């Protein structure tokens, strides 16, 4: 597997033109939107400002309800680079109409243009997120999505600032030149996007908007983890839109700040989400690591609550509104700034793995339609967020900090619900933390594990940490077959059940449990799952690879699937192994030691035998590169002599 940084993608044609195209698009959207918002604020009657502002927001969101489903069908049916170019041509036409609106100083025309921009964005979204899994390998998805999310929020910030500056010049020429220029740059970059084969050319387009939307939404629940990931993403947009929509009024009424304070706070948030998005690849080890999602969720809750807390204690004596430099000199300002920045950081850690998971786990011929469904649900959540703000602030008359608190409480409830019904998020977090905090795992050959379909993984068994290491490094969820007494360990049984582990007993101990275990393995493989077994039947007592039991042969006889051999190395001697024979004598060893997980080529079912698999695992073990510090020999040699 390549160890290149995500930034290397910016040098490659399969990514850079697409990256620039989506950057210019997001940038241009926000140049125009902020220019329009400022025009509404300063050039219409005061009693119409709120009406027109909310109308503009509604008309921008409306196309995501109307056209996303159709856009998803189109994105799956046709070649994507051609679609991107056509969407960008449409953007140039829309910006030409916007220039006319600026020239005429016509708010109604510009609001209509905003509706057209929403329609264009709803068409681009499914193509955008459907393109990435086509051109990026699975181990590049986190990095690619991280770059896209980081650039999107930075472009939002820069576009918002530029739109405000240009419209303040009180001339239609600068703003018109800007929006037309960036639309043209987007088209020119789109011309260099490489061809991308149609996902499902035979799909029949449904021109009935309502029927297409219902049909699209029915696709989403087909895979539960994908559906709940979409709900998680939509919740992020709910959470984020509540906080970001209130920033202007929060700055004005709570902080007594002027426009520069709003810009400063939005800058902190945008930089934070950019940093968080880019950190995902490094923290995940270049794989789709959904264990980061609970980390992101916890950070959003913690720093969202802290923003509420510090805001309730905020007091200011200045009569006139203050600028951002004066704001930063005040007690608590740095804390507020860091809260928003860290909400952004943890927001990036939360949302990037979810987008990557959807792209990885969705059927390849349905990715764009699933993204379209995601956009529909996102829009619904954002509208509900706006309604919540109206009720809390307008009807009930509560404060903005209280709105933040209510949002945080709802966030905690939603996350507990999602993580409870899909424990894979928490289990991956636990495995990721255990492996990251206890060992430094070096892996080789993970790409040899089939990305789809049933497969059995077999591995030598050195320590109690072996399943956590395998779970933390193998990208696909795995069901482990484990000795029933370990499965029933007090305090751990809940996690083993949540991971859908399969308890097994020996024939002489509990023949019914043994048969039930084989039945569960058959069912799992029939469902296309990954099953991992340790054929030695227990931990090695001396560091050597023990005799493989014949159970693996029965499994493959009953369900002929590929078997992937794996070898763990340099765990012998740790406190989780049986190096110390008595538990009371075991002490921490090999903390942060380098551990290897070596994966071999898949073995066809007709070649599977216990002896042959044992030989393959032993051969993989002999390829170990890390020396065992207990003896100074290679780990393979040390484990044969210890």
Tens of pLDDT, residue by residue over 44-79, are 655 565 567 667 777 888 888 888 888 888 888 888
Between CA 633 and CA 642 the distance in angstroms is: 11
Task: Give pLDDT < 50 ranges for the chain.
Answer: 1-2, 584, 586, 630-642
Say whether both 473 and 610 belong to one domain: yes
Q: Is residue 234 part of a domain?
A: yes
H/E segment holding residue 442: strand 439-444
| Strands of 462-505, DSSP E | 478-483, 502-504
Residue 562 tokens read as 């590929």
Query: Are residues 364 and 498 both part of a single domain?
Result: no
448 and 383 assigned to the same domain = no
Asked whether residue 176 falls in the same domain as residue 222, the answer is yes
- Kindly state whether residues 443 and 400 are assigned to the same domain: no
Last residue of a domain, one of 422, 440, 456: 422
Which CATH number goes with the domain that contains 156?
A: 1.20.1250.20
- What predicted TM-score, i.e. pTM, was given to this entire model? 0.77
Sheet of 455-459: strands edge to edge?
439-444, 593-599, 563-569, 455-459, 530-533, 478-483, 502-504
Q: Are residues 399 and 444 in the same domain?
A: no
Same domain (yes/no): 43, 180: yes
Pairing of strands 502-504, 593-599: unpaired
| Single residue among 376, 392, 422 that ends a domain in this structure | 422
Produce one character per residue of 458-475: b if its CB has 16 or more CB atoms within 10 Å, e if not.
bbbbbbbbbbbbbbbbbb
Do 75 and 131 meet the contact criterion of CB atoms below 8 Å apart?
no
Q: In a 3-state reduction of DSSP, which class is residue 443? A: strand
pLDDT in tens, 497-514: 777 888 888 888 888 999
| Strand 530-533 with 455-459, pairing | parallel
362 and 439 in a single domain? The answer is no
- Give yes or no: residues 489 and 630 share one domain: yes
Residue 390 sits in the same domain as residue 270: yes
Residue 27 CA to residue 153 CA, distance in Å, equals 9
Q: How far apart are CA 561 and CA 557, in angstroms?
A: 9
496 is a domain residue: yes
Residue 427 lies in a domain: no
Residue 632 lies in a domain: yes
Cα–Cα dist 373/221, whole Å: 10
Q: What are phi and psi of 504, to 5 degrees?
A: -140, 150
202 DSSP 8-state letter = T
We report the CATH number of the domain holding residue 627 as: 3.40.1130
Q: Where are the beta strands (DSSP E) in 462-603?
A: 478-483, 502-504, 530-533, 563-569, 593-599
Query: 474 and 407, same structural domain?
Result: no
How many structural domains does the chain have?
2
Q: Is residue 122 part of a domain?
A: yes
Burial 534-552 (b: 16+ CB within 10 A, else e): bbbeebbeebbbbebbebb
Of 422, 446, 467, the position where a domain reaches its end is 422
Instruction: Return d(Cα 32, Cα 25) in angstroms, integer.
Output: 11
Q: Is residue 1 part of a domain?
A: no
CA–CA distance, 371 with 127 (Å, rounded to integer): 9
Q: Which residue range forms the structural domain that includes residue 506?
A: 432-641
Q: Is there a domain that residue 224 lies in?
A: yes
Going by C-beta distance under 8 Å and a sequence separation of 6 or more, which residues neighbour residue 18? 84, 128, 131, 135, 193
Task: Establish if 578 belongs to a structural domain.
Answer: yes
Nearest to residue 198, comparing CAs of 360, 368, 18, 70? 368
Rounded Cα distance, 419 and 473, in Å:
20
Mark whether 163 and 219 lie in a shared domain. Answer: yes
């Amino acid at each position: 597997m390549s160890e290149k940084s995500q930034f290397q993608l910016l040098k490659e044609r399969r990514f850079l033109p697409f990256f620039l195209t989506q950057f210019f698009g997001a940038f241009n959207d926000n140049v125009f939107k902020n220019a329009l918002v400022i025009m509404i604020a300063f050039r219409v009657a005061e009693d119409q400002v709120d009406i027109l502002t909310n109308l503009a927001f509604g008309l921008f969101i409306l196309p995501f309800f109307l056209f996303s489903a159709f856009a998803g069908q189109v994105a799956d049916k046709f070649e994507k680079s051609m679609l991107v170019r056509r969407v960008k041509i449409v953007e140039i036409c829309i910006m030409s109409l916007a220039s006319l609106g600026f020239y005429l100083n016509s708010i109604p025309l510009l609001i209509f243009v905003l509706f057209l921009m929403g329609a264009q964005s709803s068409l681009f979204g499914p193509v955008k997120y459907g393109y990435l899994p086509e051109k990026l390998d699975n181990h590049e998805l986190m990095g690619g999505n991280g770059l896209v999310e980081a650039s999107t929020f930075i472009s939002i910030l820069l576009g918002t600032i530029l739109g405000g500056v240009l419209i303040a010049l009180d001339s239609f020429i600068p703003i018109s030149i800007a929006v037309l220029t960036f639309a043209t740059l987007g088209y020119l970059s789109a011309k260099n996007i490489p061809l991308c084969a149609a996902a499902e050319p035979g799909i029949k387009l449904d021109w009935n908007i309502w029927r297409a939307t219902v049909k699209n939404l029915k696709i989403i629940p087909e895979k539960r983890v994908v559906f709940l990931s979409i709900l998680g993403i939509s919740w992020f947009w709910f959470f984020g839109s509540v906080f970001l929509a209130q920033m202007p009024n929060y700055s004005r009424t709570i902080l007594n700040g002027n426009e520069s304070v709003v810009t400063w706070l939005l800058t902190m948030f945008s930089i934070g989400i950019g940093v968080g998005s880019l950190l995902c690849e490094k923290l995940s080890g270049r794989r789709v690591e959904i264990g980061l999602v609970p980390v992101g969720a916890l950070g959003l809750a913690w720093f969202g609550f802290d923003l509420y807390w510090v805001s309730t204690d905020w007091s200011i004596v200045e009569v006139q509104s203050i600028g951002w430099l004066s704001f930063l000199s005040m007690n608590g300002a740095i804390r507020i700034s860091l809260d928003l920045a860290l909400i952004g950081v943890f927001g990036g850690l939360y949302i990037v793995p979810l987008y990557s998971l959807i792209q990885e786990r969705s059927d390849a011929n349905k990715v764009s339609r699933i993204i379209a469904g995601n956009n529909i649900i996102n829009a619904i959540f954002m509208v509900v967020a706006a309604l919540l703000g109206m009720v809390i602030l307008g009807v009930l008359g509560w404060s903005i900090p209280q709105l933040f608190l209510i949002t945080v409480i709802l966030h905690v409830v939603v996350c507990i619900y999602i993580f409870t019904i899909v424990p894979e998020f928490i289990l991956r977090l636990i495995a990721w933390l255990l492996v990251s905090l206890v060992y430094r795992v070096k892996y080789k050959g993970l790409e040899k594990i089939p990305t789809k379909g049933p497969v059995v993984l077999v591995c030598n068994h050195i320590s109690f940490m072996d399943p956590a290491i395998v779970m933390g490094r193998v990208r696909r969820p795995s069901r482990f077959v484990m000795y029933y007494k370990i499965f029933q360990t007090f305090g751990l049984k809940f996690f083993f059940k949540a991971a859908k582990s399969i308890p097994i007993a020996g024939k002489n101990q509990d023949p019914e449990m043994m048969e039930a275990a084989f039945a569960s393995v058959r069912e799992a493989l029939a469902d296309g799952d990954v099953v991992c077994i340790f054929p030695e039947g227990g931990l090695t007592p001396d560091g050597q690879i023990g005799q493989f039991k014949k159970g693996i042969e029965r499994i493959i006889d009953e369900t002929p699937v590929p078997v992937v051999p794996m070898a763990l190395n340099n765990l012998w001697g740790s406190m989780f192994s049986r190096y110390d024979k008595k538990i009371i004598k075991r002490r921490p060893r090999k903390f942060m030691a380098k551990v290897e997980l070596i994966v071999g080529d898949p073995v066809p079912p007709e070649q599977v035998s216990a002896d042959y698999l044992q030989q393959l695992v032993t051969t993989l073990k002999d390829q170990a590169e890390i020396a065992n510090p207990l003896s100074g020999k290679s780990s393979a040699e040390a484990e044969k002599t210890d």
